[in-house]
Structure 1
Amino acid sequence: MTFYTHPFLFGLVGLTIATAIPRGDSITALSASQVAAFKPFSYYAATAYCKPATVLNKSCGVNCDANTAFQPIAAGGDGSKIQFWYVGIDLSLKTVIVGHQGTDPSKIAPLLTDANFFLKPLNETFFPGLNSAIKIHNQFGDQHWKTMSQILSATRAALQKSNLTQVTLIGHSLGAALALLDSVSLPLFLPGIQFKTIGYGLPRVGNQAFADYVDANVQLSHVNNREDFVPVIPLRTLGFVQPQGEKHIQDDLTWLDCPGNDNPDPRCSAGDVSSVSAGNLSNHDGPYDGVEMGGATCKNVTGTAGVATAAASTFHARCGVLFLLATAFSLLHDPLQVL
């Protein structure tokens, strides 16, 4: 596939291996087995881009084929106003899976969801009893509200059917943000269940109080690919902060564990991508240890694989629109930095 490069994406930042880290904790490399352990979940994140009907009958193509033990319970969304989602059981991994679709390049509404933002308090219905100082991206919160009741019901059904006690929340891009909100909300309604969250290309979702709550209460890994700039927007100058748990894929495809919130080391996203123009949006969809995100790897309801040229075209449109939106907001609030 030929990737679109916006004319302003000329200042790509190469990785610089620092000899010291500005923080007390050290950056460590993941072993081959640790990286491989993410792969089933990477396919589950990609599965969330596929139409609900194909997820329910396990005909979504390579993503469904990669996890043969998956037992679907429920799926929904329209891929535009409501992101696709699904809930199912994986007895081989001994976990219930909850997946959220990311930013579908063929739909304009999710792109706007990513851009028109401000911080707002949590919805008391789905986040009862939490500190009022915790605030999140308003549109991420609105998207979460649209599916939370269905996902809670389906998750309860999956737990009851499987007798499992673990739930894994999965997503890429906007889907990673929704999965992270699930990881804060669902435990409030499902006591005694263990939750973990794996996100890919996770944007900043909330303020410092949100990040602090996640750090204290959520088992989170969020994987960022090379110079993808989505993990460093919205801006820190607007009050947004990344939680801990970053795994950063380097240019040589090794994975590093980056401790802390928005680690400024150049081997981690916040240090590697110092401005939007220093990023490369073609890194956003992957590969994540060989797994690409997005609908191009899905099959449609009739079983026909997506057309590569159409996928490339919509990807090009996505790059242009997202870059312009992100650049406009970055330049409006901070002409030099995304931090």
Structure 2
Amino acid sequence: MMSIVAILLVAAAAAVQAFPSLSARQSIMALTTSQIDSFTPYTYYASAGYCTNVQTLAWNCGTNCNANPGFKPVASGGNGDSVQYWFVGYDPTLDTVIVSHQGTNPSEILPLITDADFFLTSLDPTLFPGISSNIEVHNGFKDDQASTATDVLAAVESAMSTYGTTSVTLVGHSLGAAITLLDSVYLPLWLPEGTTFQTIGYGLPRVGNQAFADYVDAHVHLTHINNKEDPIPICPGMFMGFVHPAGEVHIEDSAEWAACSGQDNPSTQCIVGDVPEIWDGNESDHDGPYNGIEMGC
């Protein structure tokens, strides 16, 4: 199943092929109100990732849980410190398994993506069998995803079996979005053929190199939503070899949601053009609002 952004951008790509002179600006399309609203259940699931594992397992986390009252939790974990909170369950209305990972605030994620201690590294072949060693990712994000990978996989398998679904939707904000994107590469390697996936990330930092971005474009139905002048999505820098996959939606100051074609689209309607340097950003935009929803429990 194609994501909303994928459908829009397929149409845009066809237009560009028919008329090669069309600019990147002309290939950017505004989402309709109904398309924007369709993300709302997933936004609340991403926000619920900030709630404790006890709260999400009981599905008793206030507004975030109340927004999706039919959700059936299956498993949760993490400690909110050394291991990000996560939860897995089933949404009967959407008929999909939900996987959500906790994010963090800008003051905690910025050092992870701007200090000199991190580096690009290959994925663990035990967790990611058959993935080329040319595909490299942020070492910190890699370690965070590895710390919960097998538990999340077991929970997804249990949810799929219990509720008879073949659909998996992965969500997360900030650091949680980075972990979620790695899960989006990991889980399809282990789940049955015929399982369908979609991934929706909010305030996603760059996770890997060009080979990683190309792999994601070929294998993951990704939408990553950036709010206004959030500086997190432009980090780590492209000069360090990091590249965003396609699938960006940029919430502009006008409140328009712009579907941006390609990888790291330089248009000023997209995050790379709107926030060319980190000091051009506004950390307060990182948590939202995303169609009226602020991230956090």
Give the match's secondary structure for 2:147: helix
- Residue 87 of structure 2 corresponds to 86
Q: Secondary structure at the match of 2:214?
A: helix
Structure 1 partner of 2:286: 284
Where does residue 11 of structure 1 map in the other structure?
A: none
Distance in 1, matches of 2:195 and 2:139, equals 28
Quote the offset at 1:22 in angstroms: 4.8
Read off the aligned partner of 2:41 and give its amino acid letter.
P
Give the Å deviation of 1:283. 0.3
Between the aligned partners of 1:271 and 1:127, the Cα distance in structure 2 is: 33
1: distance between equivalents of 2:254 and 2:25?
25
Write out the 4+ residue segments of structure 1 that deviate beyond 3 Å after TM superposition: 20-25, 110-116
Q: Do residues 267 (structure 1) and 296 (structure 2) align? A: no
Q: Which residue of 2 aligns with 1:154?
A: 155
* Contact kept in structure 1, 2:206 and 2:235, CA below 8 Å: yes
Deviations 1:32-61 (A, max 9, x none): 000000000000000000001111111111
Structure-2 separation of matches of 1:79 and 1:111:
18
Distance 1:222 1:21, change over 3 A: farther
Distance 1:28 1:86, change over 3 A: same
Aligned counterpart, 1:96: 97
Q: Any unmatched runs of 5+ in structure 2?
A: 1-20
Tell me how large the CA RMSD over aligned residues is: 1.6
Alpha-carbon shift at residue 192 of structure 1 (Å): 2.0
User: CA contact under 8 A between 1:103 and 1:111: conserved in structure 2?
Assistant: no
- 1:43 alignment partner, SS class: helix
8 A Cα contact 1:184 1:214, kept in partner: yes
Change (3 A) 1:133 1:208: same
1:50-88 Cα shifts (integer Å, max 9, x gaps): 001111111111000000111000001011110000000
Q: Which residue of 2 aligns with 1:242?
A: 244
State the TM-score, normalized to the length of structure 1: 0.78
Structure 1 residue 23 displacement after superposition: 3.2
Contact 1:89 1:95 in 2 (8 A): yes
Q: Distance in 2 between matches of 1:164 and 1:149?
A: 20
Q: 1:225 to 1:153 in 2, by over 3 A?
A: same
Cα deviations by residue, 1:174-216 (Å, 9 ceiling, x for unpaired): 0000110011010000132101100000000000000000001
Cα contact 1:79–1:104 (8 A) shared by 2: no
For the structure 1 residues 230 and 104, does the alpha-carbon distance in structure 2 shift closer, same or farther, using more than 3 Å as the test?
closer
**Structure 1 255/105 Cα, relative in aligned 2: closer, same or farther at 3 Å?**
closer
Cα distance in 2 for residues equivalent to 1:222 and 1:168 = 13
Cα distance in 1, alignment partners of residues 81 and 130 from structure 2? 31
* Counterpart AA for 2:162: K
Q: Deviations over 1:116-137 (max 9, x none)?
A: 4110001111111011110000
Matched ranges for 1:127-276 at <5 A: 127-190=128-191, 191-276=193-278
Pair 1:121-2:143 in alignment? no
Which residue is 2:10 aligned to? Answer: none
The answer for the alignment partner of 1:52 in structure 2 is: 53
Residue 144 of structure 2 aligns to which amino acid in structure 1?
Answer: Q
Is contact 2:243–2:263 with CA below 8 Å preserved after alignment? yes
Percent sequence identity over aligned pairs = 53
Question: What letter corresponds to residue 73 of structure 1 in structure 2?
Answer: V
What are structure 1's unaligned runs of at least 5 residues?
A: 1-19, 299-339
Query: What code does the residue aligned with 1:77 have?
Result: G
Task: Provide the secondary structure at the position in 2 that maps to 1:40.
Answer: helix
Q: Distance in 2 between matches of 1:23 and 1:283?
A: 25
CA distance in 2, matches of 1:259, 1:112: 29
What is the CA distance between 1:112 and its match in structure 2?
4.6
Return the TM-score normalized by structure 2.
Answer: 0.89
Matched-pair contact (CA < 8 Å) for 2:110–2:232:
no
